[in-house]
Every structure is written in structure tokens, then in C-alpha cells.
Amino acid sequence: MKGDLLSLRDLDENEILSLLDLSLFLKNQYREIGSNSKCLNGKILGMIFQKPSTRTRISFETAMLHLGGHAINLSSNELQLSRGESIEDTAKTLSLYVNVLMARVYAHEDIEKLSNFATIPVINGLSDLFHPCQILADLQTILEYKQKLKGIKLTYIGDGNNICNDLLLGCSKLGINISVATPVGFEPLDWITDIARTESKRNNSCILITSDPNEAIVDADVVVTDTHISIGKENEIHSREKLFFPRYQVNDDLVKFAKKDYIFMHCLPAKRGKEVSPSIIDGPHSVVWTEAENRLHVQKALLLKQLNPQ
């Protein structure tokens, strides 16, 4: 096995928990002694970007540097992909030069092609269907603030997008109760929900998919949202704003139904005044900066597991 991570579907409960344990260890180690590791000395990460990136690019590049390795940024416009070379041939070629690939793509089928034809590990840095690295960081953040995962309630408000999909998979595998509130027609895909429901039954947790955000957020320990207009959906901005705003905005009125000690998370970038009010994302319940920092430590743990598994 190459150890690809295309979604949290690729990891079982023990593998997720092992990654979180290692990530927490690396975070504490970094704060105590800094970044002097040479664990990945001589290893190279190739990073393909079809989409803009802040946290994904910088966290992966920094992670490799902290571990003694090196990262190469490969814009799709700089590769022969821009001149018609196939993803299959690109995967085979890059496998000859680097030790692991991370790609941030528009279509999930592109990351699947990379996985199928590369002979090295492939990591999904984001696709239209999944965002596993972000959700691993989210789960770590929840564990840090709530001291447990199993049995808590997470509520996701907004578009049934890649964040929502991997949250469903991750929460259901770890026994987290998850409620999702989206406008009708924007629910997560049925086949993803079906997988999550099967996992949740195994772990005695609950899944609710509803169009009512007030129903979804009742007694939530964790409240999560994301932009209502993902990259690639800009042509839908006006129609989406009419559907999502203001009913699906996380604001002071909505969070009154959550638990008093709830935490708020957002993968960023955030549009204040749209999917979330400034009083929430900049308020005392927000943990978005811890969540953003944890991207770095999760990437380190993932790279170590893939490239230095002993």
C-alpha cells in the first residue's frame, strides 16, 4: 500500500486517532524545542496547485522544512499539464523525482488519477468532494478543547460541500454525533451520507440532515461553517446568496440554541457578514486560529506516517 489519503474514507478509526496523537505530540514538541528534526532529511514533497492556497501550501511546505525535507511548489500552469500532458503521465513522471505528492484540484477525479498512476503516496490537499487534511486538523482542535471526541455533538451549517463530506466521514468513524443543515438541493451526496450512516451505526452515533439550522444546532458542542461560495462556484454567487443568507449565517441568534460552552470553527478564508457574523468568528467561542495552526501539525504527522512509518 502507498498510503494515499484522498478522503477520510481511506482511514479507519484507529488510523485517525493515531494521526491525531502524533500531531498533538509534534505540536507540543515544536512549542518546547522548535523545529530541529531531520526525520525526513532528503525527502521531497511535490505540491500541485490548480486552486489558490494559503493554509494548505504554507502548512505543507513548512511541515516538510521542519522535518528536514524539502517541498517544491508546482503550479498547474508551470507544468506540462497546461499544454495537454495527461495527469496519468504527470503522475508517472513526478513519481521518479519526488517522494510524495500533494495536490489541490478542482475535480476529485484528477486526484484519483494521480493516485492510480503515481507510485508514491498521494495526498488530497482539497478537491471538489473532499478535504481530509482540514478535517484532521478540525478533529484535533475539537479534541484539544473538548478532551474527547466520542459522544459529542457537531453541527455543520451551510453548503453540503467538501468540508461537510469529510466531516460526515470523520465524525461517523469516531462516534461524534453530527447534524448538517443545508438549503434543499445543497445536501451532501447520498452515497457519502450512506457511508457515514453505516459508520455511525457501528459507533452508536447519530446523523441528522435537515434544512432547518435551528433544529440542527440544538445542544451542539461544536459549530462549524464554511463559505457558501466555494472556489469554482463564483458564477452562482447571486443565486446562492439568496438561498443561504441570512438563514444559514452563524450568528448570535442561531448559537443561542447551542451549548453554552460551544466552540466555533471555520476552515478559512471567511467572509464576515456572510456565512458568519463578526461577533462569532472574532468572539470568545471561536477557535479558528488554533484550527488553522493545527493544519501544520497534522501535515507533519501525515507526512511522517507516509514517509517514515516505523
Determine if residue 25 is left, alpha or beta; phi over 0 gives left, psi from -120 to 50 gives alpha, anything else beta: alpha
Residue 39 annotated as catalytic: no
Among 66, 171, 226, 240, the one annotated catalytic: 226
Determine if residue 173 is left, alpha or beta; phi over 0 gives left, psi from -120 to 50 gives alpha, anything else beta: alpha
Among 9, 55, 66, 104, the one annotated catalytic: 104
Beta 207-210 vs 222-225: how paired, if at all?
A: unpaired
Residue 226 annotated as catalytic: yes
Among 9, 66, 108, 131, the one annotated catalytic: 131
Report the greatest alpha carbon distance in the chain. Answer: 55
Among 9, 266, 267, 299, the one annotated catalytic: 267
Among 55, 108, 240, 295, the one annotated catalytic: 295
Residue 131 annotated as catalytic: yes
Among 9, 55, 134, 266, the one annotated catalytic: 134
Cβ–Cβ < 8 Å for 167, 130: no
Provide the annotated active-site residues. 104, 131, 134, 226, 267, 295
